[in-house]
């Protein structure tokens, strides 16, 4: 930092400096309105407006100068990134200088022609200074991050708590959410950056903020639990505070040595953190065995409507997911020729229920082209042995039900090549026991359910218990 730092101590200079964010809005408004009035006064009917330009301009210039002074005093408190600060500072001074010049030159006939363009330049500088000022306060991606289509930073979605990395998946998102605002590359309040482990280790102007394994001795934790009115409390009064759970996580992380690589399961857990972790356990989002890990593009609306027109229900597997499940429970007439309608959704279909429809072997040729298919219901359809071999190409297929179909040993054995298969239902089919054991050997992890369960006849099935006599 090349600027004098007066952190820690209050002073009249700093006090006045803090009026900068208030004052800057005066020149912005006034200079803008002077420019607009000047522009409007060029219209004959509104020529009388020109009389107002100079007074407004004078007040604008005055407030611009005051803003510059306040801004300089504020910058002395430090904590801002040098480059952005310098840019903002000189742009602001430029605005003030031009504004003063414009006041002086307003009545000079020679410069009458130049006055309006020059004020235009001032407006450009004013906008730029305002923008950089905003970036200094809120961070340089504050504006662009909110563009439509941009992903707003959100708390990382953790799929499995035990495998989550404590620093990357839990600590950093908390710091990002609640601390980065003031402790980042542009705005180093207290000389401290928290956006990266090397910066955290470096500490701030009052020394290190982290003592490994000693949360009570680490500023990074201590300041979180100070009374809200304490000047050293972090985040300061009025800013979004950490939740008790977040404080608990930071405590636990420091207590366990502030590692950047450790996973939740590798660290010791107190009953308190156990409760916090349990509450964080996501509601089973990521680890669903029937949802591939990749994310496809959105479903083509026309293709969906074509299916829905014949009564087929196309549903996202979850709100916001592009994967779909397809159910033909209301479309019992769904047949081989309709199967082609599924193709435009081939990268989105994960679950497909064709139970009791008219589909047969030729539809299976189409299904084999659905690379993401994990669950397939073909119960009570006309599929036969001839069609099944192509299903081995569904590399993700985990669940297949062939209940009540005409398949037998030949068709089912063709599924041997499908190593992803975990559940196969062949109740009420003609698959002989020998083929099942052969298939089971080839696919040891697959649960093959042949059904036909029965219960023994017991004497107690019919015994009515009654008091004797």
Partner 1 sequence: MSEKIIQEANERAAKYFSRRHFLHNCMTGLGATALGSLLGGCNLFSGESGEEGMPQSLNPLEPRAPHFPARARSVIYLHMAGAPSQLELFDYKPDLQKLHNQLCPPSILEGKRFAFIRGVPKMLGPQAVFAQHGESRAWVSDHLPHFAKVADDVSFLKAVHTDQFNHGPAQLFMHTGSARLGRPSIGSWVTYGLGSENSNLPGFVVLTSGGKTPDAGKSVWGSGFLPSVYQGVQCRSKGDPVLYITDPEGMDRDMRYQSIQAINEVNKQEYETFKDPEILSRISQYELAYKMQISVPGVMDISNEPAYIHELYGTQPGQESFANNCLLARKLVEKGVRFVQLFDWGWDAHGTNEDTSIEYGLRNKCREIDKAMTALLMDLKQRGLLDETLVVWGGEFGRTPMQENRDGKEMPYMGRDHHAEAFTMWMAGAGVRRGGSWGETDEIGFSAVKGKTSVHDIHATILQQLGFDHEKFTYQFQGRPFRLTDVEGRVINEILG
Question: Pick from 366, 357, 441, 367: which is nearest to 400 by CA?
Answer: 367
Q: Which stretch binds partner 1 (CB under 8 A): 37-45, 48-56, 70-78, 319-327?
A: 319-327
Q: What is the DSSP letter of 168?
A: I
Half-sphere exposure of 180 (CA within 13 A, CB side): 17
Q: Closest CB to partner 1 among 55 and 244?
A: 244
Q: Least distance in Å: CB of 426 to partner 1?
A: 10
Are 254 and 218 in contact by the 8 Å Cβ rule? The answer is yes
Binding mask 335-364 for partner 1 (x = CB under 8 A): --------------------x---------
Cβ closer to partner 1: 110 or 457?
457
Nearest distance from residue 401's CB to partner 1, in Å? 4
Enumerate residues 6+ apart whose C-beta is below 8 A from 143: 134, 135
Nearer to partner 1, 50 or 355 (CB): 355
Region of residue 404 (left: phi > 0; alpha: psi -120 to 50; beta: else): left
What is the pattern of x (binds partner 1, CB under 8 A) and - over residues 432-461? -----------------xxxxxxx--x-xx
Per CB under 8 A, contacts with partner 1 among 249-288 are 278, 281, 283-285, 288
Segment interacting with partner 1, rule: CB under 8 A, options 103-111, 231-239, 385-393, 419-427: 419-427
# residues near partner 1 by CB under 8 A:
43
Could you tell me where the beta strands, DSSP code E, fall in 268-319? Answer: 313-316
Show contacts with partner 1 in window 76-105 (CB under 8 A): none
Q: Does 316 bind partner 1 (CB under 8 A)?
A: yes
**Cβ atoms of 90 and 67 closer than 8 Å:** no
Residue 148 dihedral angles phi and psi, to the nearest 5°: -60, 140
- Binders of partner 1 among residues 389 to 408 (CB under 8 A) are 399, 401, 403
Q: Nearer Cβ to partner 1, position 361 or 379?
A: 379
Binding segment (CB under 8 A) for partner 1, from list 59-67, 185-193, 222-230, 327-335: 327-335
HSE-up (13 A, CA, CB side) for residue 469: 0
| CA gap 67, 52 in Å, rounded | 23
Cis status of the peptide bond prior to 356, with omega within 30 of 0: no
Summary count for the chain: helices (H), strands (E): 15, 7
Q: Does 147 bind partner 1 (CB under 8 A)?
A: no
Residue whose pair of structure tokens reads 């235009």 in the numeric block? 120
Q: Least Å distance between CB 278 and partner 1? A: 7
Q: Please, which residue, 267 or 317, has the CB nearer to partner 1?
A: 317
Confirm or reject binding of residue 152 to partner 1 (CB under 8 A).
Answer: no
Q: Are the beta carbons of 38 and 50 closer than 8 angstroms? A: yes
What distance separates the 2 farthest-apart alpha carbons in the chain? 129
- The smaller minimum CB distance to partner 1, of residues 44 and 467, is found at 467
Kindly give the pairing relationship between strand 423-425 and strand 447-449.
parallel
At its nearest, how many Å lie between partner 1 and the CB of residue 153?
15
Selected from 330, 343, 395, 432, the binder of partner 1 by CB under 8 A is 330
DSSP 3-state of 175: helix
Q: How far is the CB of 237 from partner 1 (least distance, A)?
A: 24
Helix, strand or coil, per DSSP, at residue 76:
coil
Instruction: Assign 313 to helix, strand or coil.
Output: strand
In this chain, which of 425, 431, 439, 443 binds partner 1, going by CB under 8 A? 425
Closer Cβ to partner 1, 168 or 449, answer by number: 449
Residues with Cβ within 8 Å of 74's Cβ and at least 6 positions away in sequence, in order, are: 14, 17, 18, 20
- Residue 349's DSSP bridge partners are 324
Minimum distance of partner 1 from residue 359's CB (angstroms): 17
Task: Name residues contacting partner 1, limited to 27-66 (CB under 8 A).
Answer: none
Candidate list 211, 313, 346, 369; residue touching partner 1; CB under 8 A: 313
Tell how far CA 72 is from the center of its chain. 37
| Residues in touch with partner 1 (CB under 8 A) | 278, 281, 283-285, 288, 290-291, 313, 315-319, 321, 323, 327, 329-330, 355, 377, 379, 399, 401, 403, 423, 425, 427, 449-455, 458, 460-461, 463-467
């Amino acid at each position: 930092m090349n600027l004098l730092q007066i952190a820690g101590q209050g002073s009249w200079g700093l006090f006045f400096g803090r009026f900068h964010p208030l004052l800057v809005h005066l020149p912005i408004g006034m200079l803008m309105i002077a420019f607009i009035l000047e522009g409007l006064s060029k219209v004959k009917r509104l020529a009388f407006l020109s009389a107002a330009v100079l007074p407004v301009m004078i007040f604008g210039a005055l407030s611009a100068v005051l803003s510059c002074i306040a801004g300089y005093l504020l910058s002395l408190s430090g904590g801002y990134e040098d480059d952005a600060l310098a840019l903002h500072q000189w742009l602001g001074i430029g605005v003030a200088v031009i504004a003063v010049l414009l006041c002086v030159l307003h009545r000079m006939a020679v410069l009458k022609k130049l006055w309006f363009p020059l004020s235009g330049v001032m407006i450009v500088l004013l906008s730029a200074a305002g923008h950089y000022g905003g970036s200094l306060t809120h961070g340089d991606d504050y504006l662009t991050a909110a563009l439509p289509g941009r992903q707003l930073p959100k708390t990382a979605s953790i799929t499995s708590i035990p495998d989550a990395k404590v620093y990357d998946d839990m600590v950093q998102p908390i710091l990002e959410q609640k601390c980065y605002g003031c402790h980042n590359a542009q705005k180093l309040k207290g000389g401290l950056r928290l956006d990266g482990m090397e910066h955290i280790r470096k500490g701030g102007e009052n020394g290190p903020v982290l003592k490994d394994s000693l949360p009570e001795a680490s500023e990074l934790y201590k300041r979180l639990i100070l009374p809200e009115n304490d000047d050293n409390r972090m985040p300061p009064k009025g800013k979004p505070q950490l939740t008790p759970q977040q404080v608990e996580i930071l405590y636990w992380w420091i207590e366990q040595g502030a590692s950047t690589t450790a996973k939740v399961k590798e660290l010791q857990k107190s009953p308190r953190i156990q409760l916090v972790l349990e509450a964080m356990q996501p509601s089973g989002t990521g680890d669903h065995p029937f949802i591939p890990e990749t994310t496809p593009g959105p479903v083509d609306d026309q293709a969906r409507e074509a299916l829905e027109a014949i009564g087929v229900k196309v549903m996202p597997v979850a709100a916001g997911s592009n994967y779909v499940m397809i159910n033909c429970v209301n479309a019992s007439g769904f047949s081989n020729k309709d199967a082609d309608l599924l193709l435009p959704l081939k990268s989105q279909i994960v679950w497909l229920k064709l139970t009791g429809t008219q589909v047969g072997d030729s539809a299976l040729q189409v299904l084999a082209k659905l690379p993401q298919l994990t669950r397939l219901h073909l119960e009570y359809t006309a599929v036969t042995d001839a069609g099944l071999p192509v299903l081995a190409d569904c590399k993700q297929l985990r669940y297949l039900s062939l209940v009540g179909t005409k398949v037998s040993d030949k068709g089912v054995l063709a599924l041997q090549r499908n190593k992803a298969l975990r559940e196969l239902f062949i109740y009420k089919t003609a698959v002989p026991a020998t083929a099942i054991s052969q298939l089971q050997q080839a696919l040891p992890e697959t649960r093959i359910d042949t059904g036909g369960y029965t219960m023994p006849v017991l004497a107690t099935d019919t015994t009515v218990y009654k008091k004797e006599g």
